[in-house]
Amino acid sequence: MSMAEEYIANKTKNEIAASEDNIPPHEPKIYESGYFFLSQQISALKDSMDAKFDRLDSKFVEVHKEIKDLSNTMDARFEAARKESDARFEAARKESDAKFDKINSKFDAIHREISGLQRWAFALIATVIIGFAAIYFK
């Protein structure tokens, strides 16, 4: 206890002990010095709590900044991963398109060959029929 607090505490004890009011002993009389002492304690407690809350607020701001920085870092990583996967998908798409174009050109070549065979078969059948007709009607 500081000297001022001791002085106020002793003065309060003396004032309570020396009072001759008709207050029952279980309800002590409180004087101005007691209110002053209580006011000082409340002010000191308030100042202490304000300082602690200020420190706590600064810690929250610091933690919030760290979380935001981590969030930005993760966003950058996800963006890089997305770009990489998009590039891979694009490469795979181009590769599959090239393979399908090659297959389509092979089908086109086969279709032309079949079409040519159909014409050849029709011409062969027509020649055979004309040949049989020429031999038969001769």
Residue range 95-124, pLDDT digits in tens: 999 999 999 999 999 999 999 899 899 989
What's the pLDDT band for 25 if we cut at 50, 70, 90? low
What's the pLDDT band for 134 if we cut at 50, 70, 90? confident
**Average of pLDDT values for 52-72?**
92
Whole-number mean pLDDT of the chain? 84
Q: Give residue 49's pLDDT.
A: 93
Q: Give residue 35's pLDDT.
A: 78
Q: Is the pTM of this model over 0.85?
A: no
Per-residue pLDDT of 28-48, as tens digits, reads: 666 777 778 888 899 999 999
Query: Secondary structure of the chain in the HEC alphabet?
Result: CCHHHHHHHHHHHHHHHHCCCCCCCCCCCCCHHHHHHHHHHHHHHHHHHHHHHHHHHHHHHHHHHHHHHHHHHHHHHHHHHHHHHHHHHHHHHHHHHHHHHHHHHHHHHHHHHHHHHHHHHHHHHHHHHHHHHHHHCC
